[in-house]
Chains A and B, each alone.
Chain A
Amino acid sequence: MAGSDDVVLLNFWASPFGARVKIALAEKGVVNYDYKEEKLADKSSLLLKMNPVHKKVPVLIHHGKPICESNIIVQYIDETWQNDDPPLLPSDPYLKAQARFWADFVDSKVRFSGIWRTKGEEQESAKKEFIDLLKVLEGQLGEKPYLIGESFGYADIAVIPLSCWFYALETVGKMNIGQECPKLIEWVERCMERESVSKSLPDPHKIYEYLLEKMKKLG
């Protein structure tokens, strides 16, 4: 059965990257692991030791060995814990490549700090860019229940944490993501029906408060 012994997760509650790892662990039935909340302004010596190169969360520590970078951690989790459910990554090499592509897409293309850091024309431009990228994701979804096919998996895990920022971005940016991307919102709701997701994602209202604080600090 899924052993939670000797599994430690270093994370920051608002991190969408950490959320990916939490979802993956929950999907595999790995519960009761040691969760350590990090203060980003005052990183623990454990974090600095386990991720000296980037000094970032999330870090998964399994049997004392660190694994860093959220998408890499999720793949590690998939390869290490196997249960009766389909694996998080499809077994077909071609579909696996597709899943990896869309997980990578989020990290390399999706940016939204412009929506809350800027005003006026710059902000409008940032909003449009963000919506355009969400529409690309919607295009990939098509009529499928999940991003790659019939099963919830790696690509969905990579993208779904974005959704907990939607409320904050809509409020600050005065936008309506549901109106622009209705099918994507349906997919979000479908993913949220899974306990692994609903229990792992931070509360969108808390994210909004967190964002307001960040904006205040920027002046």
Chain B
Amino acid sequence: MESCPSVKNILLLDSEGNRVAVKYYSDDWPTNSSKEAFEKSVFTKTQKTNARTEAEIAMFENNIVIYKFAQDLHFFVTGGDDENELIISTVLQGFFDAVNLLLRGNVDKKEALENLDLILLCLDEIVDGGIILETDSNVIAGKVASHSVDSGAPLSEQTISQALATAREHLTRSLLNV
């Protein structure tokens, strides 16, 4: 263990195991079908567990997977089996909380897909090529939100987007006060 802590993948799946957004950083799953097989096995094995209040942990194919659920969204972060579990857990928590901030507490699949750009930017700010960039959810959400302030709404209707824009301003203000 002399290496830098690393993340093998971050998965955001829905309540049926379908992808909302996923990002792989390791060559362990070279093809799309091997990725899907991994997601399926992780999803089915963890489906029945209660990971809503505290993050849960499981091992798959010599990997540690730490996960947490919110409504119909399942968040997973995978690391190698000799990785420090608590580091991986911190990454998951950072991702989970940042998404919560960015979706203003409406953490569900519909909201996540409507703001997929935010989710993707969020993933991009947390881990770069397997190396942890940032784990503080406020900082992550701050970076993502600030980028989108003047970009208008993503995919939803204009009227909603205006409402969101004010909400975002509110959010960034609150972040600045932190």
Indicate whether A and B interact: no
Show the binding face of B for A, using Cβ within 8 Å.
none
Show the binding face of A for B, using Cβ within 8 Å.
none
